[in-house]
Amino acid sequence: MDKELAVVILAAGKGTRMKSKKPKVLHELMGKPIIRYILDAVSPLNPALTGLVVGHNGEQVKKQLGDSPLVFIDQEQQLGTGHALKQAREALVDFKGNLLVIYGDTPLLTTESLEKLLEVHSENNSWATVLTTDMPDPHGYGRIIRSENGEELQAIVEQKDLEPSQQQIQEINSGTYVFRCPEVFSILEKLDTDNKQGEYYLTDIVHIWAQEGKKNYPVKVDDYQEVMGINDRVDLSQAFEILRGRINRQHQLNGVTIEDPANTYIEPGVKIAPDTVIRPGTILEGNTEVGENVVLGPDTTLIDTRVGRDSRIIKSHVNKTEIGPGCSVGPFAHIRPETVLQKGVKIGDFVEVKKSTIGEGSKVPHLAYVGDATLGPGCNIGAGTIFANYDGQKKHHTHLGREVFIGSNSTLVAPLRIGDRARTGAGAVVTRDVEAGVTVVGVPAKPFSKKNK
């Protein structure tokens, strides 16, 4: 833990332009709320305290982040960024060190940039250090006013307060700062609302300290997209494209072939081994892990799923499933949670599997429903087979032994056990257990003999 670093994230704004009842920082970006990206960037810094200033619908934010080691700070009235930071004074009453302040709507910030900001702050014994960038279209952002030698920071001027000569400045304020603490809380008392927005500007701290002869420094990041704030749903979609590009590029550099990155969606927590091929229309969500030499897609969705090496999944939807090595799934398969496909399993077209374990080398080639079942190795399930697992009140289990053959259009009525190498004839309705090696036929199914042939 860095006892000389504290973090305050400002997340109390109403987010009016999102036109939503949900707080802006809880809107999702590639499977995670915006605020989670800020927390992920800050976590490696190991601060002594991380405070989150909440206001509009703050209870929703607290509920969503209840599992995080945060200090929640309430801002009942939103009177500007300076006022927001002022609310953190009590939480930091005994803290002496560097205070990192970040806006809660900047999900593209990286840990590396924050580390650089803190490094420059410490090396220069700065009072305030601000993360900046050159923005191609700086309209709407506060502009950075540097000293004559270009090294120090003299002031930050908000868009509405710009003089005509300052309109062309492209270096903008990202809203990410490091301040000396507790000195910053003393200077907050000197802020006023003498500006066109009638708010307490956090940026005024820089100007006041500069006038007092205290040195402040800017730290410029090369990629202006990194400091992008989310103000509306257009911004949200732009951030989505940027983040998706980052993620896809990193997987490509790690040895994954992504045939069409613009039509591939991979969430941040996904892990993919080298020599895997991702075809167009593939969506990988949650904690999905994919082994080596796998082919995914086209048009395949995996959610919280593990895929073993050398498997292939095409045009299918798979959720919370363990897929072993050398498996084949799809096209048009639906694999539901709590399913395990062991080595070399084939799940073919228009097959649904739910809460079942399919043994090594078993095949469910097409047009079948397998629910609440255990299949031993080497089984073959014919087209049109239904595992009837629900009696109207409860779910029941079906157990198949080794190398069981189920004829087309069979119905297996659970609870049921079918022994090793048993068989059912086409169209059989099996309501009773079947012993090993026995063939059953008919409705209801009975052991086959020459007499009933």
Supply the residues annotated as catalytic.
366
**Residue labelled with tokens 């540097």:** 146
At 110, list the tokens.
Answer: 């990286």
Whether the Cβ atoms of residue 303 and residue 289 lie closer than 8 Å to each other: no
Going by C-alpha positions, the residue among 394, 407, 408, 409 that lies closest to residue 434 is 407
The amino acid present at 239, given as its one-letter code, is A
Three-state DSSP string of 227-253: HCCCCCHHHHHHHHHHHHHHHHHHHHH
- Coil/strand/helix, residue 260: coil
d(C-alpha 21, C-alpha 327), whole Å: 45
- CA atoms 291, 297, 300, 301: torsion sign: positive
Going by C-alpha positions, the residue among 283, 291, 254 that lies closest to residue 267 is 283
* 3-state DSSP helix/strand/coil % of the chain, to nearest 5: 20, 35, 45
Q: Please provide the size of the chain in residues.
A: 453
State the first-to-last Cα distance of the chain, in angstroms, to the nearest integer. 78
